[in-house]
Structure formats: structure tokens, C-alpha cells
Amino acid sequence: MMLIRYITQIGRYFLMLKEIFNKQTKWSVMKNLIFKEIDDLIIGSLGIVAFISFFVGGVVAIQTALNLTNPLIPKYLIGFATRQSVILEFAPTFISVIMAGKMGSFITSSIGTMRVTEQIDALEVMGVNSLNYLVFPKIIALLLYPFVIGISMFLGVMGGWMAGVYGGFTSSDEFINGAQLDFIPFHIVYAFLKTLIFAMLLATIPAFHGYYMKGGALEVGRASTVSFVWTSVTIITFNYVLTQLLLGS
């Protein structure tokens, strides 16, 4: 019975994706909606992303340095380990899981509140495709999400450099040499490909839970919690699959 319910929900999700791109809202209205979503979802997330990235990058550098107890191991590995950790996993994946809580809860609660207060029904009565009106601007806004992850990568490595150098664990030259060592440009491509897919999940899964919720104000909170769980699970699952496909061969 549980399996049938999950399959039904997955089917409904894909039908929702199809409906989002039907019967487009006119551009003069859509343009303002997109700018509002960019402000809420992208610009509104920069502060928390910058703060977390800088300090986690510093922690990665310190943890790496503290584990390099053998004097024969070169100190430039601190920079190498920080770069690899931040670019490959921390910035694209774990920031996305954090954003599933911040962005996802915001999207679910805002759409869920519209469902509870019957604003979505009012849009449908006026002949507006409510899914296109509500979800499409979020998808377009989150096309800028790789920009957020790029800032996260930069600040993560910068935090590692500051922690390593000013903490006395390594010199600036050694850290920079390690950060440049054996750099593979495809790793950046891999990280941004993941980010774009995660952005689509961040825009649509919380919207799905908000749009199809039933009940009152209490259920809006529950829907936000459920959307965070499922968005996080989906991001981690896709992360495994994409890593195997793009880096595993």
C-alpha cells in the first residue's frame, strides 16, 4: 500500500512538471515574478551560504592539518585536501542540503499558505495556469543557483587558506601550491552540472509538497518538514548517481 502511494506521488510530480510549462503566463507579469524569486531565493541566500562556506572551509583545513602528524607528509596537502573537499562535495552537495531547509521550507510554506487561503483556487478561476504562475519563476530564478555555489567554492577555499596560514599550520605559498596541485578542470564542470540538477530539485519538490497539501495552517508546517526530508533524500541520491556516472568511469 505504501509503495503504491509513493508511485502515485512520483507520477503526480512528473505530471506537475509537464503542467508547469503549459499555458505560459504573459511575459509582462512573469518578468516581475522572476525578479521577486531571484531576490527571495538567490540574493536572500547569499549571506548564510557565505558564512557557512568560509568557516567550514577553515574547519576542513584545520582538521586536515591536525591529521598530518607525520613530518614526512608535505604541508601543501592541506591546500589540496581543502580544494578537493570544497569543490567536489561541500559546495555543491552540502550547501544544497542546507538550501533544502532554507529555500525549500520557504517555497513549501508560501505555496501551501496560498493553497490554504484558496488563492490558488482564485488563480484557476481567473483562467491562470497556477503551476506556471507559481513554480516557473522559481525554476528560472534557480538557474542562477550555480552562481551561489561558485561563491561558496571561493569562500570555502579562502576560509581554508586563512585558517591554515593564520592558524600556523602551513605557509601561504604551500597552501596555494597545494590548491593548484593536479587541478582537473572537469571537476568544476562536474560540480556545476550537479548544481543545476539540484537547483531543479530545490525548485520543484518543495513546490509539489506545497501545491498539493491539504488541511490548514498546521499542515503547512508538516508539508515544509516533509518537503525538506524528501528534497534532501533526492539530492543525496542524485549526488551518488551523478558521481558514479561522471567520475566513476
Per residue in 127-148, pLDDT (tens digit) is: 888 888 888 999 999 999 999 9
CB 121 within 8 A of CB 15: no
Q: Is the pLDDT of residue 69 over 80?
A: no
| Cβ partners under 8 Å of residue 131, min gap 6 | 16, 19, 20, 211
Q: How confident is the model at residue 9 (pLDDT cuts 50, 70, 90)?
A: confident
Q: Which residue has the cell 534557480?
A: 142
- DSSP secondary-structure letter at 71? T
| Confidence (pLDDT) at 198 | 93
CB 159 within 8 A of CB 220: no
Outline where 92-216 has alpha helix (H): 95-116, 119-125, 130-141, 145-166, 172-180, 185-211
Give tens-digit pLDDT for 92-135.
Answer: 999 999 999 888 898 999 998 888 888 888 888 888 888 888 88
More confident residue, 76 or 203: 203
Give the DSSP H/E element, type plus range, for residue 5: helix 2-20
| Cβ partners under 8 Å of residue 176, min gap 6 | 79, 161
C-alpha–C-alpha distance, residues 170 and 163, integer Å: 9
| Confidence (pLDDT) at 249 | 59
Q: Is the pLDDT of residue 165 over 80?
A: yes
Cell of residue 54, nine digits: 568560509
| Cβ partners under 8 Å of residue 170, min gap 6 | 65, 75, 76, 78, 79, 164, 178
Q: What is the mean pLDDT of residues 68-92?
A: 84
How far is residue 113 from each of residues 216, 224, 227, measured CA to CA in Å?
8, 11, 14
Angle at CA of residue 93, ends 191 and 168, nearest 5°: 90
Angle at CA of residue 29, ends 12 and 208, nearest 5°: 15
Q: Is the pLDDT of residue 248 over 80?
A: no
Q: How confident is the model at residue 155 (pLDDT cuts 50, 70, 90)?
A: very high
Instruction: Note the pTM of the prediction, 2 decimals.
Output: 0.88
More confident residue, 215 or 177: 177
| Confidence (pLDDT) at 241 | 92
> What mean pLDDT, rounded, does the chain reach?
88
Q: How confident is the model at residue 72 (pLDDT cuts 50, 70, 90)?
A: confident
Cell of residue 43, nine digits: 540574493
Angle at CA of residue 41, ends 205 and 227, nearest 5°: 25
Q: What percent of the chain has pLDDT over 90?
A: 37
Give the count of beta carbons closer than 10 Å to the beta carbon of residue 96. 28
Q: Tally helices (H) and strands (E) across the chain.
A: 11, 0
